[in-house]
Structure 1
């Protein structure tokens, strides 16, 4: 029996040699891919350089200053469109892309802005996200009453007028007063207040109210002993009288002394500014004897004690004088015609001063 021989298996090599055509195709594809990558890289470099230049080059603004306002809730897309319509940017889409690329698109802050000189798109976005807003100003003058304060608010073009329709009680409640008072006179501190344009009147008034409370508290803590004033509010009323009666700053503490001395002995204050305040818009600039005889809550000729409320906004100097009167026994004073007042301890001396300085005798 003959043996059957097995044929050996043919095995193909692991890496068979490529044909010249296949090798050429592979090399061509590799070169093409490398070329495409190089082209994409060059395009990215060129685009990146162009975008960097756009971000840092000044915007093509024809004139300065440029003012604009972003309302609350304005999106980046809407803001870019608004800026394009105002002639501040040429392409709103580019500005939006830059904002998204830098992570600033969602951080816009509402307010009024002003561009005063050459500004790049990146600087513009920094301004919008940092809240670098332009400021309005409101100055409240010592001695103003609430009617004058409200008129100043109404005239201010940079404020959002949201307090004009409020009554005194509603106004006090809106600024955080919890006393239950019905009169807002004298409850705001006279000063210059800066605010972002478009701010609420109530926001500014809250600051003025808080400032008054702080300054009044400081004055009350530093008050002299044995004053005939039982509360900080009474000190505020006294300070308003001192403010309106003062023609010369150095006289404040002496005027306060006269009022304090009168309160101590139950003598009526007889201060004209309180009567004038009580007359309101009926006052025509001339205070007559009949006005002094007409009884009313602010007529300190017919009623003893302090009036029911301040008659104006007192400044810090008047607050300090009201609770720290000069060591004087004076009960009278009369205007000398040059801003100063003449102070007297007796009625006889006072009448002589009136004849001399008021009647020219």
Structure 2
């Protein structure tokens, strides 16, 4: 009789143990399946050497998960939770704790992005870099010449020497690292265009090609016109005519430009006033994109020496001054009727 009671007691104990284990498994499963308490995407940084328990404590401190006794059991039932990687990751609303840890061990770190548009200037790039989120700013106190030196560029001005594109970057990357990438990208694009340049271009160096490309970039945003605009400037250079392009005048005016160019501005000498100087200005006037660089290297074969805005989103190209003057009058009529 006693033996039966002992067996019965053992059975009850085993049943209770099994029940407790089942409850623990169920509760732990429910714990890791609980969504994070976040209402918007959140960045989370896993430091080098961090482990599951440290991450859980950080989640608790942020209020993303409630403190739970089941947190300690979770890595025993789900050992994959312990394999987190160092870095900064973006966690999304609705992610469960298990899904969050999947993100933390994925190695796919969060990346921000910055877009520099074609035709922008280095001054505009600096302003963008200073306001870019999650980017470590190290250049705010440096002059442009000092930044160029850090980039290994033997020039005082960086205008035109950085390729305008969209660049992704990791959290805590530095602005100088991003500029290094942009400088390298421009080197590659410029070298490619220089190797593929047309024969007999009146351009002596890749830097001169870059200067011409920057003028083309500022003169038209119409892709189909780039090579024709390039042909006008190339034809003028071959003939020894001044380029007479307004964007260079504007660049030379600097802070004095108020949105209008007056006749006196066209007569005021600056190193960039192509109504006054012969040939190309001393530096690029903007950051040209790949298409403008290639247009400078491979201009269309035309007899054009002039162009003026058509008033309809493009330009009217002319061979003679008489044709150009008629095109100017047509443009003024369009403006008057608008």
TM-score bracket for the superposition, by shorter chain length: 0.7 to 0.9
Provide the C-alpha distance between the structure 2 equivalents of 1:314 and 1:46, rounded to a whole number of angstroms: 66
Change (3 A) 1:351 1:128: same
1:266 maps to 240
Residues 187, 212 of structure 1: 8 Å contact kept:
yes
**1:109 has 2:83 as partner:** no
2:42 maps to 67
**1:349 has 2:326 as partner:** no
Provide the C-alpha distance between the structure 1 equivalents of 2:196 and 2:68, rounded to a whole number of angstroms: 59
Residues 304, 317 of structure 2: 8 Å contact kept:
yes
Please list every run of 5 or more consecutive structure 2 residues that lacks an aligned counterpart in the other structure: 1-6
**1:288 has 2:262 as partner:** yes
Provide the C-alpha distance between the structure 2 equivalents of 1:201 and 1:99, rounded to a whole number of angstroms: 39
1:53 maps to 29
Residues 224, 324 of structure 1: 8 Å contact kept:
yes
For 1:284-323, what aligned pairs fall within 5 Å after superposition? 284-323=258-297
Change (3 A) 1:68 1:342: closer
Summarize deviations over 1:42-69 as a string: whole Å, max 9, x none: 699659835862674234x344334133
Provide the C-alpha distance between the structure 2 equivalents of 1:213 and 1:111, rounded to a whole number of angstroms: 31
| Cα deviation, residue 234, structure 1 | 1.4
1:248 maps to 222
**1:165 has 2:170 as partner:** no
1:118 maps to 95
What SS does structure 2 have at the residue aligned with 1:358?
Answer: helix
| Cα deviation, residue 241, structure 1 | 0.3
More off after superposition, 210-219 vs 64-73: 64-73
More off after superposition, 300-309 vs 348-357: 348-357
Q: Give the structure with higher Rg (CA).
A: 1
Change (3 A) 1:223 1:99: farther
Change (3 A) 1:124 1:97: farther
Summarize deviations over 1:218-249 as a string: whole Å, max 9, x none: 22222111111122221111111001011532
> What is the RMSD computed on CA atoms of the aligned residues?
3.3
What SS does structure 2 have at the residue aligned with 1:70?
Answer: strand
Residues paired across the two proteins, number: 325
Change (3 A) 1:43 1:201: farther
More off after superposition, 304-313 vs 335-344: 335-344
1:145 maps to 121
2:130 maps to 154
Among 121, 125, 131, the alignment partner of 2:107 is 131
Residues 112, 196 of structure 1: 8 Å contact kept:
no
Give TM-score scaled by structure 1 length: 0.77
